[in-house]
């Protein structure tokens, strides 16, 4: 594929050469039972998008109706103003009250092979008890609760318990380091931290409690720590508990009152914070609120995945620590009364067919995952999916990064055996829910295209001057507010305006490049800012650079995302050491470890390139674009490239040949 997104500074905005002429209309067998097979939802939304969203909001249970559908004071939105509802009530109580208490909410599969089936009635009982636990620890409405857990059922229980009493959660992905956890706890001023002794990953325990203890050193907001028992022992010992601060989940649950009534909350009550990387070193606390978010979560989950809650077994293979898990493992599926699978571990443990074994065991009908996983499975070969019965599958989804047509075709033909529509869904932490995606019973798909904005959503590609592009490349913008949109950045309204609403007047700028083809289909081309997308996760170049220069041997560092066949992009670090420090393979490894410790394994550079100087413009700005060319033009290997004369020479040559100010 020859599409290229260039830097917003410097060269022409976006070049576009690639054409794809394969077309996949919805398979007849699928259409026969699909929820929507015509354009009625689009027509209704085109006629009046606000009343369209009102109709969707009516599928939820409200304690009090709203009086105004939308108050829009650009860039600040309030949806379903005056309405009162409760998220956990919508996700649990109403299904149980309607006689669906025995329906399975989650099939949980632990990495070691342990399994639990949890019905809606059982989930409600746990959530009520845990809501009382939170109250007993002093958590009140609008307090923030930090959650740092493995993928175990206690994680959604903790989230839903917060929503029951009007506390906001801030889930921090279990792969993040103590430093990253501490920053997030401090920014949110969380009162309670919920964690686990550990979690299982590739057969070994992840040391969550140890990390949590390290994160809490030097912070003062957290008064209590709740510890779920998952691995029981680490290094042959139970985890240390700090008296007066730490308590085990099961002890607290045993002592808690079993009933807790869901509190009616304002539609605009803060539901959660989720931190995401941007173009600076400081992560942003993205704010999501109650009524609008749940409306979009439920709507998109029902229609994009063509959900038939009585019969489908749905599996979103993301981690709940990212937005995909928030919206499409917890809130969307539960609001719709779906039956979902939660899997704790990695796809290759104990063998590379673990996912396909899970699909076969539970009869998964809908699978939602990231292109990086699909490309990994492609690499492993057809024999792993081939050795399992995958005939239960009827719909496949993709999210997190552009899916290349080859991966799309493999997914469609090898996993879906040509019977299953593939929905490539574009959205972001900030959008709260899916924005651009096919409707599987309606849209003719093209491999690699996210196709069209969903009903009710306004999206347009614009050029450098903000003028809509009818055909060709440009920047993806959103043209009107949507119910699940972020309400701001926690504690920093100005940064919210500057980050998303200042580049193009009156438009939300997503930070992504996109192109429109001759049929009006949208193709996402990746980030155009200093954000990398590694395995579907956002990593900021600045954040990794800060972590590198934090090391005592490093004078200067520049980080770029280079194309990678499996992870989409890989983190490549160019490092200049302080004088007296010598580059070595060990040093490279140490720096990679240092980044993993400062941020988390997701940000660990694939390659560290030592160079005596970094290419700079006359005004002293590092020419990242050029480094990206170097990184993409060469096979830099997997770990450390020692002060390789060739690379340095190439950097020199390119800087001389390319005097453009970046
Ligand atoms: O660059 C886009 C890419 O992921 C970014 C959002 O990342 P995050 O907030 O972590 O959320 C990921 C899961 C929703 C976007 O700005 N992205 C997400 N989905 C797609 C995508 N790029 C292309 N195609 C997609 N389907």
Residue 17 lies in a domain: no
Which tokens hold the place of 461? 């590609």
- The pLDDT of residue 151 is 98
- For strand 314-316 and strand 366-369, is the pairing parallel, antiparallel, or unpaired? parallel
What's the CA-to-centroid distance between 511 and ligand 1, angstroms?
10
Residue 6 lies in a domain: no
Instruction: Rounding to the nearest 10 degrees, give the CA dihedral for residues 81, 287, 274, 213.
Output: -110
For residues 505 and 563, membership in a common domain is answered with: no
For residues 509 and 564, membership in a common domain is answered with: no
For residues 154 and 299, membership in a common domain is answered with: yes
Distance, CA of 509 to CA of 505 (rounded, Å): 9
Residue ending a domain, among 516, 540, 559, is: 516
What's the CA-to-centroid distance between 153 and ligand 1, angstroms?
26
Distance, CA of 230 to CA of 226 (rounded, Å): 13
Determine the atom of ligand 1 nearest the C-alpha atom of 436: 26
Residue 22 lies in a domain: no
- The pLDDT of residue 259 is 98
Residue 16 lies in a domain: no
| Sheet with 270-276, edge to edge strand ranges | 246-248, 224-228, 192-196, 144-148, 168-171, 270-276, 284-289, 488-489
- The pLDDT of residue 625 is 79
**CATH number of the CATH domain containing 392:** 3.40.50.12780
- Could you tell me the residue range of the domain that residue 593 belongs to? 548-657
For residues 200 and 51, membership in a common domain is answered with: yes
Burial of 136 (0-12, 13-18, 19+ CB in 10 A): middle
Q: For a ligand 1 pocket test, name from 274, 427, 534 the mutation site with the most ligand atoms within 8 angstroms of its C-beta.
A: 427
Which tokens hold the place of 614? 């970094």
Name the CA radius of gyration of the chain, rounded.
Answer: 24
Residue 90 per-residue DSSP state: I
Instruction: Rounding to the nearest 10 degrees, give the CA dihedral for residues 226, 231, 232, 238.
Output: -80
Any ligand 1 atom below 6 A from CB of 401:
yes
Determine the atom of ligand 1 nearest the C-alpha atom of 525: 23
Average confidence (pLDDT) per 10 residues, the chain, 662 residues: 36 56 95 98 98 98 98 98 98 98 98 98 98 98 98 98 98 96 97 98 96 95 98 95 98 98 98 91 94 99 98 98 98 99 97 98 98 95 97 98 94 97 98 98 97 98 96 96 98 97 97 95 91 91 92 94 92 93 93 95 93 77 82 64 61 55 36
For residues 482 and 419, membership in a common domain is answered with: yes
Residue 84 lies in a domain: yes
For residues 508 and 580, membership in a common domain is answered with: no
For residues 352 and 258, membership in a common domain is answered with: yes
Residue 528 lies in a domain: no
- The pLDDT of residue 18 is 63
- The pLDDT of residue 12 is 42
Burial of 580 (0-12, 13-18, 19+ CB in 10 A): exposed
For residues 393 and 304, membership in a common domain is answered with: yes
Sign for the CA dihedral angle at 216, 217, 221, 226 comes to positive
Instruction: Rounding to the nearest 10 degrees, give the CA dihedral for residues 343, 344, 349, 350.
Output: -80
Question: Tokens 């980044």 map to which residue?
Answer: 595
Distance, CA of 451 to CA of 86 (rounded, Å): 34
For residues 340 and 423, membership in a common domain is answered with: yes
Distance, CA of 446 to CA of 23 (rounded, Å): 5
Residue 229 lies in a domain: yes
Helix-, strand-, coil-residue percentages of the chain, each rounded to 5: 30, 25, 45
Number of domains, the chain: 2
Any ligand 1 atom below 6 A from CB of 647:
no
Any ligand 1 atom below 6 A from CB of 324:
yes
What's the CA-to-centroid distance between 9 and ligand 1, angstroms?
22
Distance, CA of 504 to CA of 8 (rounded, Å): 13
Residue ending a domain, among 461, 494, 516, is: 516
Degrees, nearest 5: CA angle 58-454-62: 15
Distance, CA of 518 to CA of 583 (rounded, Å): 51
Residue 112 lies in a domain: yes
Query: Please, which contacts does 468-471 make with residues 24 or more away whose CB atoms are closer than 8 Å?
Result: 469/515, 469/516, 470/516, 471/516, 471/517, 471/518
Spatial contact of 436 and 411, defined as CB atoms under 8 Å apart: no
Any ligand 1 atom below 6 A from CB of 429:
yes
For residues 336 and 206, membership in a common domain is answered with: yes
3-class DSSP assignment, residue 5: strand
Compute CA distances 610 → 111, 550, 634, 645, whole Å: 39, 16, 15, 10
Determine the atom of ligand 1 nearest the C-alpha atom of 430: 9
Count Cα neighbours of 635 within 13 Å in the Cβ-side half-sphere. 2
For residues 323 and 469, membership in a common domain is answered with: yes
For residues 121 and 255, membership in a common domain is answered with: yes
**CATH number of the CATH domain containing 608:** 3.30.300.30
Question: Which residue's alpha carbon is nearest to atom 12 within ligand 1?
Answer: 400
């Amino acid at each position: 594929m020859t599409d290229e997104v260039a830097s917003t500074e410097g060269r022409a905005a976006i070049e576009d050469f690639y054409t794809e002429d394969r077309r996949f209309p919805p398979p007849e067998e699928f259409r026969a039972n699909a929820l929507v097979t015509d354009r009625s939802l689009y027509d209704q939304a085109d006629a009046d998008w606000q009343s369209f969203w009102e109709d969707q909001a009516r599928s939820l249970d409200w304690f009090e109706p709203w009086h105004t559908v939308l108050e829009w004071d650009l860039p600040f939105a309030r949806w379903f103003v005056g309405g009162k509802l409760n998220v956990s009530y919508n996700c649990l109580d109403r299904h149980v009250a309607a006689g669906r208490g025995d329906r399975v909410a989650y099939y949980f599969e632990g990495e070691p092979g342990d399994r639990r089936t949890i019905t809606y009635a059982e989930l409600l009982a746990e959530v009520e008890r845990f809501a009382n636990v939170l109250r007993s620890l002093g958590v009140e409405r609008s307090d923030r609760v930090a959650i740092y857990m493995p993928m175990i059922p206690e994680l959604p229980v903790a989230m839903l318990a917060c929503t029951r009493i009007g506390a906001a959660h801030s889930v921090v992905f279990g792969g993040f380091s103590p430093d990253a956890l501490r920053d997030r706890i401090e920014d949110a001023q969380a009162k309670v931290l919920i964690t686990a002794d550990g979690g299982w990953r590739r057969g070994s325990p992840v040391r969550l409690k140890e990390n949590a203890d390290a994160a809490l050193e030097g912070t003062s907001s957290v008064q209590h720590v709740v510890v779920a028992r998952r691995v029981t022992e680490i290094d042959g010992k139970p985890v240390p508990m700090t008296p007066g601060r730490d308590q085990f989940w099961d002890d607290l649950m045993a002592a808690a009152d079993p009933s807790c009534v869901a509190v009616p909350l304002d539609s605009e009550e803060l539901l959660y914070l989720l931190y995401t990387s941007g173009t600076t070193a400081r992560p942003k606390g993205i704010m999501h609120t109650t009524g609008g978010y749940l409306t979009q979560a439920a709507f998109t989950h029902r229609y994009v995945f063509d959900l038939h809650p009585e019969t489908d077994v749905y599996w979103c293979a993301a981690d709940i620590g990212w937005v995909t898990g928030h919206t499409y493992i917890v809130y969307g599926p539960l609001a719709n009364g779906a039956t979902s699978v939660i899997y704790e571990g990695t796809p290759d443990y104990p063998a590379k067919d673990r996912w396909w074994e899970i699909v076969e065991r539970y009869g998964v009908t809908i699978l939602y995952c990231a292109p990086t996983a699909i490309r990994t499975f492609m690499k492993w070969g057809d024999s792993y999916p081939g050795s399992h019965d995958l005939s239960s599958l009827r719909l496949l989804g993709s999210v997190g990064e552009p899916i290349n047509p080859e991966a799309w075709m493999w997914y469609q033909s090898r996993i879906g055996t040509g019977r299953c529509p593939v929905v490539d869904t574009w959205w972001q932490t900030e959008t709260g829910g899916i924005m651009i995606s096919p409707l599987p019973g309606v849209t003719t798909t093209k491999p690699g295209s996210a196709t069209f904005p969903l009903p009710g959503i306004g999206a347009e590609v614009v050029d450098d001057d903000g003028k809509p592009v009818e055909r060709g490349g440009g920047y993806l913008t959103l043209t009107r507010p949507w119910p699940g949109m972020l309400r701001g950045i926690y504690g920093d309204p100005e940064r919210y305006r500057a980050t998303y609403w200042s580049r193009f007047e009156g438009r939300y700028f997503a930070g992504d490049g996109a192109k429109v083809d001759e049929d009006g289909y949208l193709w996402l081309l990746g980030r155009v800012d200093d954000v990398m997308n590694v395995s579907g996760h956002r990593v900021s170049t600045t954040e990794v650079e800060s972590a590198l220069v934090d090391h005592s041997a490093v004078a200067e560092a520049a980080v770029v995302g280079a194309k990678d066949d499996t992870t989409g992009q890989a983190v490549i670090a160019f490092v200049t050491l302080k004088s007296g420090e010598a580059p070595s393979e060990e040093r490279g490894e140490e720096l990679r470890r240092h980044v993993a410790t400062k941020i988390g394994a997701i940000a660990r550079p694939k390659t560290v390139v030592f160079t005596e100087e970094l290419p700079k413009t006359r005004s002293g700005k590092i020419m990242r674009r050029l480094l990206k060319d170097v990184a993409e033009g060469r096979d830099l290997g997997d770990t450390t490239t020692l002060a390789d004369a060739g690379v340095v020479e190439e950097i020199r040559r390119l800087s001389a040949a390319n005097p453009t100010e970046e």
